[in-house]
Structure 1
Amino acid sequence: MGKHVKVGGKRGGGALLSGVRPLPVRSSVRLRRPVDIWHKPALSAVVALAIPDFTLLALGRMDLVLYTSAGAMCALYGHGLPYAARARTLPWVVLGMVASLGVALTAASLISSAVVLVAVASVLAAVHKVVCDATRIGPPGNLIFTFIAASAFFVPQRISEVPLHLVLALVAGAVAWLVGMAPALVRPRGPERIATARALEAAAAQLRAEAAAGAEAAGSAVARARQATAAAVNAAWHTVFLVPARTPAKAEARAGLERLLIRAEAVLSGAADGEDGAGAPVEADLFGQWAQEVRGGGPLPVVALTPSQQAELAGVELDHQQAEQRGAYRVDRPLVSAVTCASPDYGPRRPAPGRTGGWRTLGAAFRSGSPLLPVGVRTAAGCALAGWASMALGVGHPYWAVVTAASVFQANTTLSWQRALQRSVGNLLGLVVFALLLPVIHTGHLAMIALALVFQFGAEAWITRNYWLGSVCVTPMALLLTEFGNPLPARVLVADRWIDTVVGAALGLVCCVVVTNRRAGDRIGAALERTAAAQLAAGRLLAADAVPGAAHAQETGWARDRLAGALAELREAVEVASGEWWQRALPEERVARAEQHGHRTLALLARRLSGTAPSVRPVPEPAAAAGTIDGVRR
């Protein structure tokens, strides 16, 4: 992203400010490799939409498609979760969708002013953004909620019809739940096996990168490979830990995945079999073979563990037992708990003592001082301005401007610029596709349903490659969805949507520039404090004599997970803050020292767990031990 340029300021009360940097263009439209499970949400959404759509077609009530689509779209969520966690998460997604739809339909039936409707829709869009970011619900995030709700705000409605429409959404949501859970009948352990295979593949890629880089293994490619391995292993641990094992067979299957993860994690500490580099290619091929076997669905490969790794596995089993005693696998846990625990970049991979979560996490997002509040303010202001500007330009139903503005707001200005560019390019091309298909669309509802399902599948197939490519399919699909109940002349429809796109993207960016997330810098300070505390605790543990056994392995695992989570949060905070166009100068040297020291300590903790005694014990930095940030005692 480029380095910050200090342009002046004062120490202490007046922080230094960073200069303006060029915004990326080429990288914003570059295509990436598709995600390996893209077909699962794609097929789930198609099936969940097809069932109510064809039912309504048979009943001759295609005007109700919007309401059934609200529930059916919930099938897009939760595909990275094990089925037990997915079963308790999807109902909360459906309830959230129905609640948003209820607010929109009630407002549409009671409020006649379009100006007020835009304002209420914008506030609801901001709530969607903050809640989805706080719970880390994952793709497709807040956009589906906002699209459905914003559309419903401008649908002619009577208050007496609202209960029936909400019931239709609930019924379609139940269908989405069944569709999302259906693969469990064929591959009941599919999600956790896929997550484990990803970790093994990332470890194999790291070994190959280190072998190619030579003995020093200090290149940027190696650093990226190590980060990818750490992220994949951490995500896999989160996924596996959400798997309950109420029978010995299920417990053994889960333990088999955990053995593979312990072996993959050993690569991060250099404790794999090819530690000297000579055996790295062989070890990488072995990991790749294991990944294929895990993805294949057959018996899990049997791997050997060192005595210390066996102790770590026993410590993980203690974690499971304690989680069961605390009710971590209960089916009635709220959505925010299930989603937050499954998030690969939230906290420790296992529930360490004193950890907070659940509704507290959601409540903290709306409290004063939350770094998510500026993003919520951006969303509300940008959506409102976009909707009102669209109305001023003569657009009768400006919901698309609200949705476009809501889609623009990302974690920082740089990412928001990229999304605005991607959205504009994708929507323009999508409108061209829609215009070309008008002769087919006008043949009847059957063709419209078929095209909507094709576009839904294409959107999920392409959006992981780049957002603009997926938007090429999202735009005509959204237009078809609104056409079922409220058809408009084609020329008016296309012109209005293009105006809404330009206005929404432009005003969304304006709000990103005006409403700067200055709290992003405060988040770095808090992350440095947590990293320092985790570093100090890990240093004390390493300085003590190791006591063999599961309890010691459990304590060491907790220390490693706390430090790994703190470092991941620190890196995320730095990335968010560095993407703001006008921000306090980042404490780059302090961050670099914290990350370097923390990763060394992580390696020593991993070596202890893998059975390789550390030769050098870390000494906490004075600033970390004293609890200071940038040399200032707090």
Structure 2
Amino acid sequence: MGKHARPTEKRPTTAPEGGVRFRPLPVRSTVRLRRPLDIWHKPALSAVVAMAIPALTLFALGRMDLILYTSAGSLCALYAHGLPYAARARTLLWVVLGMVTSLGIALTAASAITSAAVLVVLASLLAAAHKMACDATHIGPPGNLIPTFIAASAFFVPQRLGQVPGHMALALGAGGLAWLVCMAPVLVRPRGPERIATARALQAAAGLLRTGTGTDGAGVAHARHATAAAVNAAWHTLFLVPVRTPARAAARGRLERLLVQAESALGGRPGEADPTAEAERLDGWAHQLRRGRPLPEIAPTAAKTEEPAGITREGAAESGTQAAGAASAVADGSSGVADGSSGVAAPGAVREGRAPLLGLGGPALRRPAPGRPRGVRAVLARLAPGSPLLPIGARVAAGCVLAGWVSMVVGVGHPYWAVVTAASIYQANTTLSWQRAVQRTVGNLLGLLLFCVLLPLTHTGQLAMIALVLAFQFGAEACITRNYWLGSVCVTPMALLLTGFGGHLPAKTLIGDRWIDTVVGAAVGLACCVLVTNRRAADRIDIALERVAAAEAAAHRLLATAPAPGADDAGETGWARDRLVGCLVELREAVDVAAGEWWQRALPQERITHAEQRGHRALAGLVRRLSAPALAA
């Protein structure tokens, strides 16, 4: 549900390259509020509607004890709101099936196993599987938190084996309703997700143009990374849009022309035109896209030929601050999806097997670069032996098991909340996990205080409890993109209310157990995170540097040849751009992950800085080569 926090401004204690360095853990930036995500209201409203209908139905039937099972399906409505509707339909189907499967495993174990210690182990293993699966699929917020919360709770719900199919059917039915709720906006704004993705790229490009007029090399690097990531994510979104009719091809073509304008900011020089005026124009187009207004007609422009702004003046200042660039670019959903973008060619110049465009008698459309695994193969490749996700999975499993067992030792009868807390704090590295642990603890404490204040209202009846659950669900999504701790203030009382429908624990016991579980889960989980460091993080940088060097060399070989007319040159140029930007995004992600490990060998900062400078210079050349034919298409 929450986004990754921004990297801290504290500088690590460095050692010579190849040595070990210690990174101080941040405090102030951990609780700092950020701007909310631009589409936070979409998952918030969807979840409220998807949860309200089953909850009110159960209330009318007098079976509010079943709300845990319907909530499992209803909370699937929080996912996939950034995807085009065709891809959203497929993704939500997998989310619902995964949720129901996890619930079935937990309920079956609860009906067959009486040992709480064994149930903690099983819940922890399932939590680790959720974490690795969500990271491998790039499902996005709320990630593994929701299925882990539902499954861990279900492991400790009294259950008979004969009840499991019926309870799973309730979850599946609620999940089907969530699917319908999330797909309903297609009737009003059928191209809304791709328009928002394009608007994000335009706004990032406008920020690059404004930043490029200054003298801060680090700021230019930050803006350039943000633009590259946003443009790459937007191309990925457009490639998910099916083009089955000329009308749909024309609509996607207009979005592509706008996206090419944003992409051209990576290859242009502000001295060619007034950068402020150009930035205002891009922002104006982004505003039109978000408002659902008709798309503007883009006039062709000449290709840019000069050095991009900021490439030659970044200097040493870039190395200490670039980590903020890509992380903030990815924080709003523009994650490093490098499945990417490619070239464009003139209409009609399609060659079987490697066509860089789609025609349908309308505008030429870009196609993704070949050679990258997609779908299930891509997910399996990310989970293969040697994957950086495996240490994270080991952290989750070990931390959750120990947290659950310690919670049992201190006297908590149902330690699932300790398991959930431990699972929720594990992020890509130690620094982010530390931030999440602090945020979770602070948010849960304030949430418990809020629950105590509202306790008299919960005694007025189940209808009031339903209203509070829905209000907290909406508030959680409204606040959690500002900072995770702020969202946890709403999540905690909502979870307590959902638990209260099926049980009758005294409020004092419920609040006390929840607080103990929170402290134990955060402390034990963070201890495991500190002790089980991700030693593969720095190795991933070396691999990413090699890939950037290879992609840059291929780009320079292509740029050394004269452009040839027709589809082949544009296609090869676009695919080279795709490979290079994907490698640059991968390098920046690897650096961000390794930089956040508190105990890690010193990073090759000079090599990283030079590789990114050279890579973005080559990327600018590829973009300039594509600009003229792409805009004229």
Separation in 2 of the partners of 1:532 and 1:291?
A: 34
Separation in 2 of the partners of 1:119 and 1:323?
A: 49
Q: 1:3 to 1:320 in 2, by over 3 A?
A: farther
3-state DSSP of counterpart to 1:505:
helix
Aligned residue in 1 for 2:210:
208
1:517 aligns with 2:534: yes
Aligned residue in 1 for 2:385:
368
1:295 aligns with 2:290: yes
Deviation at 1:368, TM superposition (A): 2.4
3-state DSSP of counterpart to 1:583:
strand
Aligned residue in 1 for 2:244:
246
Q: 1:46 to 1:324 in 2, by over 3 A?
A: farther
Aligned AA for 2:163? Answer: E
Aligned residue in 1 for 2:328:
none
**Preserved contact between residue 580 and residue 619 of structure 2 (Cα < 8 Å):** yes
Separation in 2 of the partners of 1:163 and 1:317?
A: 55
Separation in 1 of the partners of 2:584 and 2:82?
A: 23
Aligned residue in 1 for 2:92:
90
Aligned residue in 2 for 1:483:
500
Aligned residue in 2 for 1:531:
548
Deviation at 1:413, TM superposition (A): 0.5
Moved more, 586-595 or 477-486: 586-595
3-state DSSP of counterpart to 2:266:
helix
Deviation at 1:73, TM superposition (A): 0.5
Identify which of 521, 524, 530 aligns with 1:504. Answer: 521
1:230 aligns with 2:261: no
Aligned residue in 2 for 1:121:
123
**Preserved contact between residue 343 and residue 367 of structure 2 (Cα < 8 Å):** no
Aligned AA for 2:266? Answer: L
Deviation at 1:201, TM superposition (A): 1.5
Separation in 2 of the partners of 1:66 and 1:205?
A: 45
**Preserved contact between residue 199 and residue 233 of structure 1 (Cα < 8 Å):** yes
Q: 1:326 to 1:318 in 2, by over 3 A?
A: closer
Q: Give the number of aligned pairs.
A: 577
Moved more, 291-300 or 408-417: 291-300
3-state DSSP of counterpart to 2:465:
helix
Aligned AA for 2:608? Answer: V
Separation in 1 of the partners of 2:239 and 2:522?
A: 40
Separation in 1 of the partners of 2:415 and 2:162?
A: 25
Identify which of 279, 282, 287 aligns with 1:284. Answer: 279
Which 5+ residue runs of structure 1 have no aligned equivalent? 9-14, 328-348, 613-634
Deviation at 1:70, TM superposition (A): 0.3
State the percentage of identical aligned residues. 68
Write the deviation string for residues 447-480 of structure 1: whole angstroms up to 9, x where unpaired: 1100000000000000000000000000001111
Write the deviation string for residues 482-527 of structure 1: whole angstroms up to 9, x where unpaired: 1111131000010100000000000111001111110111211211
Aligned AA for 1:297? Answer: G
Deviation at 1:350, TM superposition (A): 5.3
Identify which of 122, 130, 134 aligns with 1:132. Answer: 134
**Preserved contact between residue 356 and residue 571 of structure 2 (Cα < 8 Å):** no
Aligned residue in 2 for 1:185:
187
Aligned residue in 2 for 1:428:
445
Aligned residue in 2 for 1:47:
49
Write the deviation string for residues 553-582 of structure 1: whole angstroms up to 9, x where unpaired: 111111011011101101110110111111
3-state DSSP of counterpart to 1:162:
helix
Q: 1:218 to 1:7 in 2, by over 3 A?
A: closer
**Preserved contact between residue 350 and residue 561 of structure 1 (Cα < 8 Å):** no
3-state DSSP of counterpart to 1:155:
coil
1:260 aligns with 2:262: no
Q: 1:506 to 1:180 in 2, by over 3 A?
A: same
Q: 1:193 to 1:319 in 2, by over 3 A?
A: farther
Aligned residue in 2 for 1:474:
491
Aligned AA for 1:367? Answer: A
Q: 1:191 to 1:321 in 2, by over 3 A?
A: farther
How does 1:298-313 map onto structure 2 within 5 Å? 298-306=293-301, 313=344
Aligned residue in 2 for 1:62:
64
1:162 aligns with 2:160: no
TM-score under structure 2 normalisation? 0.88
3-state DSSP of counterpart to 1:437:
helix
**Preserved contact between residue 269 and residue 603 of structure 1 (Cα < 8 Å):** yes
Q: 1:403 to 1:557 in 2, by over 3 A?
A: same
Aligned residue in 2 for 1:194:
196
Separation in 1 of the partners of 2:234 and 2:76?
A: 24
Which 5+ residue runs of structure 2 have no aligned equivalent? 1-7, 305-341, 359-365
Identify which of 35, 41, 64 aligns with 2:37. Answer: 35
3-state DSSP of counterpart to 2:601:
coil
Deviation at 1:208, TM superposition (A): 2.0
How does 1:212-611 map onto structure 2 within 5 Å? 213=214, 217-270=215-268, 275-276=270-271, 279-306=274-301, 313-314=344-345, 351-611=368-628
**Preserved contact between residue 300 and residue 628 of structure 2 (Cα < 8 Å):** no
**Preserved contact between residue 71 and residue 97 of structure 1 (Cα < 8 Å):** yes
Deviation at 1:225, TM superposition (A): 2.1
**Preserved contact between residue 17 and residue 582 of structure 1 (Cα < 8 Å):** no
Separation in 1 of the partners of 2:431 and 2:557?
A: 40
Write the deviation string for residues 533-562 of structure 1: whole angstroms up to 9, x where unpaired: 211211111112211223211111110110
Separation in 2 of the partners of 1:242 and 1:318?
A: 22
Write the deviation string for residues 295-353 of structure 1: whole angstroms up to 9, x where unpaired: 121210001124769x95437998999699999xxxxxxxxxxxxxxxxxxxxx95322
How does 1:605-620 map onto structure 2 within 5 Å? 605-611=622-628
Aligned residue in 2 for 1:11:
none
Separation in 2 of the partners of 1:7 and 1:53?
A: 57
Write the deviation string for residues 234-292 of structure 1: whole angstroms up to 9, x where unpaired: 11111111111211111101000000000111111116xxx316511111121121112
**Preserved contact between residue 259 and residue 313 of structure 1 (Cα < 8 Å):** no
3-state DSSP of counterpart to 1:157:
coil
**Preserved contact between residue 21 and residue 601 of structure 2 (Cα < 8 Å):** no
**Preserved contact between residue 199 and residue 232 of structure 1 (Cα < 8 Å):** yes
Identify which of 57, 81, 90 aligns with 1:79. Answer: 81
Aligned residue in 2 for 1:618:
none
Q: 1:188 to 1:302 in 2, by over 3 A?
A: same
Separation in 2 of the partners of 1:557 and 1:576?
A: 29
**Preserved contact between residue 459 and residue 473 of structure 1 (Cα < 8 Å):** yes
**Preserved contact between residue 11 and residue 24 of structure 2 (Cα < 8 Å):** no
Deviation at 1:588, TM superposition (A): 1.8
Aligned residue in 1 for 2:311:
none
Moved more, 406-415 or 478-487: 478-487
Separation in 2 of the partners of 1:198 and 1:18?
A: 38
Q: 1:326 to 1:350 in 2, by over 3 A?
A: closer
Separation in 2 of the partners of 1:484 and 1:63?
A: 5
Aligned AA for 2:481? Answer: T
Separation in 1 of the partners of 2:351 and 2:210?
A: 34
TM-score under structure 1 normalisation? 0.87
Moved more, 535-544 or 157-166: 535-544
Separation in 2 of the partners of 1:375 and 1:312?
A: 36
Aligned AA for 2:563? Answer: A
Deviation at 1:358, TM superposition (A): 2.2
Deviation at 1:221, TM superposition (A): 2.7
Write the deviation string for residues 122-146 of structure 1: whole angstroms up to 9, x where unpaired: 0000000001011110000000010
Aligned AA for 2:468? Answer: L
Separation in 1 of the partners of 2:221 and 2:459?
A: 54
Separation in 2 of the partners of 1:545 and 1:460?
A: 52
**Preserved contact between residue 319 and residue 554 of structure 1 (Cα < 8 Å):** no
Separation in 2 of the partners of 1:204 and 1:6?
A: 35
